[in-house]
Amino acid sequence: MSKSAEIIIDGKSYELPVTIGSEGEVAVDISKLRGQSGVITLDPGFKNTGSTKSAITFLDGEKGILRHRGYSIEDLAEKSTFVEVSYLLIYGKLPTQQELEQFRQEITQHTVVHEDIRKLLDGFPSNAHPMGVLSSLVTSLTAFYPESLDPNRSWDGVNLSIIRILAKMPTFAAWAYKNEMGHPLNYPDNTLDYCSNFLKMMFSLPVEKYEVNPVVAKALDKLLILHADHEQNCSASTVRIVGSSQASLYASLSAGINALWGPLHGGANQAVIEMLEAIKADGGDTAKYIAKAKDKDDPFRLMGFGHRVYKNFDPRARIIKKTADEVLEALGVNDPVLEIAKGLEEVALKDEYFVERNLYPNVDFYSGIIYRALGIPTEMFTVMFALGRLPGWIAQWKEMRENKEPIGRPRQVYTGPNLTEYIPIEKR
Ligand code: CMC
């Protein structure tokens, strides 16, 4: 492969360097093109633009490959734990037994949140969407730990901020849910593992004893692993771009949570269940909804279908589909929306429209069904995604800082009016 590419603009040739990734990915480096030629490149939605060089996650959308730091998602989902995958993403290698134990202990030490955060929570109406509550609580950490505002402080200080957010996020997520339900808040139980502690804070009520079901805790752990990172997606890019202005870790993560919220990104898991419920309420006619999704005059899209990068299959969706079957069987749950989901998938996978456009079920198509089976309400689904994506965002932010990346600031092609004379209001 040549180390340079040539671009000809208006008859003049410019030589551009070519960068090759460790999996053979080829990129033409256009960063100096404007300086040389005055020309920029245009790529709305960054569909074909690499914003960074990253050593965290490798993804091959054509082959359906997803690897974190070289380890396949299939291996990690089957053999690892969410806490270990978090370590891998953030620190770049699998921990030794001792390192993992220390990491766990550090996280456990910081699960309690400042009591004044309860007062913040009290200010939210109970119908507040838990994603809005979550992003606000994460931003509020900048007030409780003002030293965290400086991303240039010592590594120990930055690392403490990282540990704190990993520890407190389950508490925030559970409290966002309790706020919605109008139930009393629960405090963390540091005798439990990461997922069991979260489940207890979510579901325990003072009126009855709550025992964490190990099947539920294990399924949740797997779901969090499957969401842990996904290279330069909308929210990870947001975290990096906000952090590139030297905004703090918590400010950057809070922005990532808001980016995730939208139904075209993490909010799709909520949208999928709402869609399946609507189809069920409408008599379960999947063909009607497939037709709506294909109709260009109808804004309806098949939620949980399609992906910007996966063009054959989403490896996470494969694992999740299997997990959904296992969890539903283990818990004895018979969910009619699962049947609708399977019916939709079957029809869509054979339909020319979906086949031509490489539209396959993505991670969100089945995750909502598992969350429902675990007793997690629909509005909390995207919060669950955020809980899983947290280590990925942290790793992306940390890498961006370590690489000393410049502030993110895209260019544009201006299409508005040319210089126009200002006319005073009385003469208009
Ligand atoms: N239903 C019907 N048509 C679709 C769908 C869909 N879900 N997704 C894409 N298309 C069509 C689209 O209309 C377009 O058709 P045409 O070429 O005739 O104009 C073609 O497929 C390409 O779509 P696109 O919108 O240009 O593709 P994109 O890469 O910009 O968007 C996507 C990717 C995920 C936003 C989109 O597929 C979508 O809106 N899916 C539904 C929402 C969803 O499930 N999002 C979760 C993504 S996975 C979780 C995550 O990582 O965030």
What are the CA-CA distances from residue 188 to residues 6, 110, 173, 219 (Å)?
A: 59, 10, 12, 20
| pLDDT reported for residue 247 | 97
Tell me the catalytic residues: 307, 364
C-beta atoms surrounding 214 within 10 Å = 11
Q: Residues 4, 17: contact at Cβ < 8 Å?
A: yes
* Residue with CA closest to ligand 1 atom 44: 304
Rounded Cα distance, 366 and 361, in Å: 8
Q: What count of other Cβ atoms lies within 10 Å of the Cβ of residue 38?
A: 8
pLDDT value of residue 330 = 87
The Cα 86–Cα 189 span in angstroms is: 20
Cα-to-centroid distance, 322 and ligand 1 (Å)? 23
Give the per-residue pLDDT at 374. Answer: 87
At 8 the three-state DSSP class reads: strand
Nearest to 145 by CA among 163, 170, 130, 132: 163
What's the gap in Å between 308 CA and the centre of ligand 1? 7
Q: Which atom of ligand 1 is nearest to the CA of 45?
A: 30
Q: Whose CA is nearest to atom 41 of ligand 1?
A: 303
Indicate the CATH number for domain 4-50. Answer: 2.20.28
Strands (E), 242-371: none
pLDDT score recorded for residue 116: 96
Distance CA 239, CA 162 (A): 14
Contact indicator for 404, 293 with CB cutoff of 8 Å = no
pTM of the shown model: 0.93
> Which residues of the chain have a pLDDT value below 50?
none
Instruction: Give pLDDT, residue 311.
Output: 85
Q: Are 149 and 243 in contact (CB under 8 A)?
A: no
Domain segments of the chain as ranges = 4-50
Testing ligand 1's pocket by substitution, the residue of 303, 357, 384 carrying the most ligand atoms inside 8 A of its CB is 357
Q: For residue 157, what pLDDT is reported?
A: 96
Q: What is the pLDDT of residue 336?
A: 86
Tell me which residue has tokens 């053979």.
24
Strands 12-20, 26-28: pairing kind: antiparallel
Ligand 1 neighbourhood includes 389 CB (under 6 angstroms): no
Is residue 258 in contact with ligand 1, taking CB distance under 6 Å? no
Q: Are 180 and 289 contacting, i.e. CB atoms less than 8 angstroms apart?
A: no
Tokens, residue 112: 């309690």
- Is the Cβ atom of 243 under 6 angstroms away from ligand 1? no
SS3 content of the chain, % helix, strand, coil (to 5): 55, 5, 35
